[in-house]
Structures are given as C-alpha cells and as structure tokens.
Amino acid sequence: MLAETVHTQMGHAALGGVVPEIAARAHLTLLPGIVEKTLTESGLKLGDMGAFAACTGPGLIGGLIVGSSYAKGLAIAMDRPFIAVNHIEAHALTARLPGLVQHDIKFPYLLLLVSGGHCQCVAVRGVGQYEKLGGTIDDAAGEAFDKVAKLLGLGWPGGPALEKLALEGDDRAISLPRPLMGREGCDFSFSGLKTAVSRQIDPYGMAALPRALAADIAASFQSCVCDVMADRVRHALEMMPEAQSLVVAGGVAANAAIRAALEACADEAGIAFVAPPLRLCTDNAVMVGWAAIETIRAHEAANVPLRDGIQTAPSPRWPLGEVTAPSIPAV
C-alpha cells in the first residue's frame, strides 16, 4: 500500500445510521478530493495507474453508482482497464494482502463474513471460486448488534458501544436463546435473540435502564452471539474439511470477544485463524484494490484476457456465486 485515505461515516451518527441519499451525495462531493489527496501521498499521477477498480455491488446503490462512475471516468480518460469488484469478494480476499499476516494465506479456506449487512460462511477455493455454505435467514450479526444497542439506549454505530458496555456486565446474568445452535448446516438467525432482548427491556417502558442491568444484557447478548457463531463455524468446518485457514472479515470481526471465540474454533480444528487489522475489517478501498490485483493475476496465470468491466452496471445485489473465475482455454 503506497497510500490510503478513509473518510468516516460517523457524521451519520446523529441520524441514527447511514441515510443512503445523504451518503451518496457525500460520496459525490468528497470523492475527487480524496483521490487527489491519496495520489499526492503516494507520489503517483493518474497516468501511472495500470488499472482502475471500484466496488460495483452489492451495497447501497447510490454510493455504488458514484464510486464506479467516477472510476470508470478515470479509466476512460487514462485509457486503462476498469475492474468491477464484488464487495463480498473483496472481503474474502483481504487476508491474502501481502504482509498483512505472518503466514501466506493459501486456498482453500473458510471465510466468515460478519457485518451490518452480511453474515455468511463461504468456501474460498480460489479467485472467482466461491461456495456459500450458509448465511443468515433474517438479521445480519451487525444489524442485531445495532438494534440491541438502540434498545439499550446506546449510540450508533451500536457494535462498539455495546462491546464496551458488555465489559461491565455478567454474561450469565440474563437467560437468552441461542438460535439454530446445534442444528445441521451453518445458517444463522438473530431476529429471535433480538426479540428476547426487547422482552427483557419492555417492563421498564420509556424509563432509562439501570446501567448494571444494561451491562448484564449487553454481556449476555454478546455471549449468545459468540456461542452461536462458534457453533455455526464448527459446522461449516465439518462441511469443508479441506480448509487450511479460518478467515473472518467484516465490521463485526472487530469485536474482541467474537474474535476470541472464533480463534478457539480454529485451534480446535488445527488450522490457522486469520483476521485483518481492525481498520481493514470494515469496508475500505484497500480491499477493493487488492481484489482487482488478484483478478488481474488470476487472468494472467490462466493466459486469459482480462474482460474490461466498463459495461458492468452497479447493482445492490451481486451474489458471490455469480463471480466467475477465469477459465483456462482448451489446447
């Protein structure tokens, strides 16, 4: 990495979460300055670029349109290829970024993607070779954290605030369900757990919860999520015995308790546990750039021309299974 620039979305905190229309307009206003700043710090010019890449899905359509359109414009102006990157694939490949972890991460490995919008176990067998083993049937883990944090009167984003409050509480104080735990497969469900938390809070009405009780609820909720995730990952590893590593990515991967539970799963299975640095767990441009490089290299290795993604339309939905690997031509 020669340079990187991040503009935080914490300005949305006062609104209780990201407002798509406001976020898209902020992208439009801020992106040119961010690109210029990053180029200056890297010591490079636009003409030095070998290719341009942007996330084109899945995600909020406004931001996808702004980012991909801007990158496509640069690619056309500089006569360079544009690489359309799948958001989830970028998370899946982040762990392979050189120098990020002690050991080179080789295929195949199991990815657990846990964020505000995604919660799924994916078998990563190569660039463009992915199989979804299981996913959430209702709320994503990060969404559940944010909703429970809101019930507890905490700010947004709720995950970090709830994790901090949980440190004060007793994780066995409140009896809460552990949805799908012990079931076959590796699907997730957090909606019932969120409802169970709300029932603990209902008797207090609009009154503020005593801090000790709020801390106990936070700790108990977090413990439930850790137990469920560990159970689901164990099942996923049984479904993918060839996995050489367990990789966790996404914003919820920043939670220390969840990391510890998942690391224990990897230790039990005798495989490496890999989690990117906290700043690269949440959405970032570094992972998009690296996914583009992985795509270029995969095509070069297969001796297959890279398809220019200039015609790829941004989409709020782009299942990982629809990402295609370069096929080796018949001799």
**Annotated binding site for substrate: which residue ranges?**
113-117, 146, 159, 163, 255
The torsion angles phi and psi of 247, rounded to 5 degrees, stand at -110, 130
For residue 233, which amino acid is it?
Answer: V
Using CA atoms, how far residue 204 sits from 3, 161, 282, in Å, is 50, 21, 34
Neighbours of 246 (CB within 10 A): 26
Instruction: Give just the sign of the alpha carbon dihedral 255, 261, 265, 266.
Output: positive
Residues that constitute the known binding site for Fe cation: 87, 91, 283
Using CA atoms, how far residue 21 sits from 48, 116, 146, 283, in Å, is 33, 18, 20, 18
Residues that constitute the known binding site: 87, 91, 113-117, 146, 159, 163, 255, 283
Rounded distance, CA 246 to CA 251, Å? 16
Q: Peptide bond before 108: cis, by omega within 30 degrees of 0? A: yes
